[in-house]
C-alpha cells in the first residue's frame, strides 16, 4: 500500500511539473491575443467569409500546438516561427479586410519635425550603384542572422531555446501589434512623387528589390522589425554568444543605413524599433537568465 501511494504521489508531481512546463510564455500570449483580436474583428467586419474562417483556423491551430508543447521544445520553437510567417504574410490581407486607417502621412510629419526632412527623401540618390549593392547585402543580412540563431537553437538545450525564443518572439509579437495599430507602407511606395531618384544598383540591389516587392508585408513600416529584432538578437548574443556579435556587427551597421538610403523606412520607424527593443529586453528580463551552451 505504501509503495502504491508513493507511485501515485510521484505521478501527481510529474503531471504537475508537466502542466507547469506547458505554460504560455509572453510571446505565445502576445501571438494568441493579437490573433484572437484579429479573428473577432474579421468576423465582425467581414461576416462569416473565407478570410475570417481561415484566420480562425490558423489561430486555433497555433493555440492547440502551444497547449500541446512545452516552452523550450523544438516543436514550440517551430510553432512560433510558423506564427511569425503567418502574421507577416497575412497582416496586409487582414489590414485591408478591416479597412484600417493608414499612417504614412503622420510618419512623414514626424520625420520632418525631427530632421527637417525625412532622411529617406533628403538622402535619395546620394549613393552610387555599387554602394547600393553593399547596402542591399546589409539589408538581407537580417534574414541570415535571424535564421542562423534559430537554426542553431534547434540543436541546443531547452533552456537555450527558451531564452532566445522568449526574447526573439516577444520582439516579433510587439512588432506585429505595431503593424495593426499603426499600419503604414514604405516611403518609396507611398510617396513616389517625393522620391524621384530611383535606387540604382546591380544584382544584389535587384534581388533585394524583388524580395521586398514580392514577399514583404505592404504595411510593415512602423516599427522597423529589422531594427527591433536585430537589436534584440545582438543583445542576446552579447549575453550568451558574444563571438557572433563580432560576425554580425558590420552587416548590422550596413542594414541600419540601408533602411533609409534604399528608401525602405522612415527614420521614426528605426527609432521606434530601437526603443521597443529596449522595452522587449526589459520585459523578458533577459539579463537575469543564465543558460549553458
Element (H, E) at 281: helix 267-284
Judged by phi (left if over 0) then psi (alpha if -120 to 50, else beta), residue 224 lies in: beta
How far apart are alpha carbons 111 and 205 in whole angstroms?
25
User: pLDDT category, 8, cuts 50, 70, 90?
Assistant: very low
Q: Residue 95 has what pLDDT?
A: 95
Query: To which residue does cell 540591389 refer?
Result: 205
Q: Residue 292 has what pLDDT?
A: 67
For the range 233-241, what are the long-range contacts, defined as Cβ-Cβ under 8 Å and sequence gap of 24 or more? 233/145, 233/146, 233/149, 233/168, 235/167, 235/277, 235/281, 235/286, 236/149, 236/163, 236/164, 236/167, 236/168, 236/286, 237/149, 239/286, 239/287, 240/160, 240/163, 240/164, 240/291, 241/293
Percent of the chain's residues with pLDDT above 70: 92
- Model confidence over 152-178: pLDDT tens digits? 999 999 999 999 999 999 999 999 999
User: pLDDT category, 287, cuts 50, 70, 90?
Assistant: confident
Q: Residue 6 has what pLDDT?
A: 47
Q: Residue 43 has what pLDDT?
A: 96
- Model confidence over 12-55: pLDDT tens digits? 444 444 444 568 999 999 999 999 999 999 999 988 889 999 99
- Model confidence over 243-281: pLDDT tens digits? 999 999 999 999 999 999 999 999 999 999 999 999 999
Q: Residue 205 has what pLDDT?
A: 87
Helices 158-181 and 129-153 pack at an angle, to 10 degrees, of 130
Q: Residue 207 has what pLDDT?
A: 87
Mean pLDDT in the chain?
89
What is the pTM for the complete model shown? 0.89
CB 254 within 8 A of CB 134: yes
> 203: burial class by Cβ within 10 Å (0-12, 13-18, 19+)?
exposed
- Model confidence over 65-102: pLDDT tens digits? 999 999 999 999 999 999 999 999 899 999 999 999 99
Judged by phi (left if over 0) then psi (alpha if -120 to 50, else beta), residue 186 lies in: beta
Q: Residue 204 has what pLDDT?
A: 87
- Model confidence over 185-204: pLDDT tens digits? 999 888 888 887 778 888 88
Closest CA to 62 of 45, 79, 46, 49: 79
Amino acid at each position: 500500500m505504501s509503495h502504491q501511494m508513493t507511485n501515485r504521489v510521484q505521478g501527481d508531481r510529474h503531471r504537475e511539473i508537466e502542466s507547469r512546463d506547458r505554460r504560455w510564455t509572453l510571446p505565445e500570449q502576445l501571438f494568441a491575443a493579437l490573433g484572437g483580436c484579429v479573428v473577432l474583428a474579421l468576423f465582425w467586419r467581414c461576416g462569416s467569409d473565407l478570410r475570417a474562417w481561415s484566420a480562425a483556423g490558423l489561430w486555433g491551430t497555433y493555440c492547440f500546438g502551444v497547449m500541446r508543447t512545452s516552452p523550450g521544445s523544438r516543436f514550440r520553437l517551430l510553432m512560433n516561427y510558423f506564427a511569425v510567417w503567418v502574421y507577416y504574410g497575412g497582416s496586409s490581407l487582414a489590414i485591408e479586410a478591416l479597412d484600417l486607417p493608414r499612417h504614412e502621412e503622420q510618419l512623414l510629419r514626424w520625420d520632418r519635425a525631427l530632421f527637417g526632412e525625412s532622411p529617406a527623401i533628403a538622402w535619395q540618390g546620394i549613393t552610387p550603384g555599387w554602394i547600393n549593392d553593399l547596402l542591399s547585402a546589409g539589408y538581407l543580412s537580417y534574414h541570415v542572422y535571424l535564421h542562423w540563431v534559430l537554426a542553431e537553437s534547434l540543436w541546443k538545450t531547452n533552456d537555450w531555446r527558451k531564452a532566445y525564443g522568449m526574447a526573439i518572439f516577444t520582439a516579433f509579437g510587439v512588432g506585429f501589434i505595431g503593424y495593426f495599430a499603426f499600419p503604414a507602407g514604405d516611403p518609396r511606395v507611398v510617396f513616389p512623387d517625393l522620391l524621384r531618384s530611383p535606387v540604382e544598383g546591380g544584382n544584389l540591389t535587384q534581388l533585394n528589390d524583388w524580395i521586398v516587392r514580392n514577399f514583404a508585408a505592404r504595411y510593415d513600416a512602423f516599427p522597423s522589425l529589422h531594427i527591433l529584432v536585430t537589436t534584440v538578437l545582438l543583445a542576446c548574443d552579447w549575453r550568451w554568444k558574444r563571438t557572433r556579435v563580432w560576425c554580425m556587427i558590420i552587416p548590422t551597421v550596413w542594414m541600419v543605413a540601408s533602411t533609409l538610403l534604399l528608401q525602405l523606412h522612415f527614420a521614426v520607424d528605426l527609432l521606434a524599433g530601437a526603443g521597443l527593443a529596449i522595452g522587449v529586453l526589459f520585459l523578458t528580463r533577459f539579463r537575469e537568465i543564465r543558460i549553458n551552451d
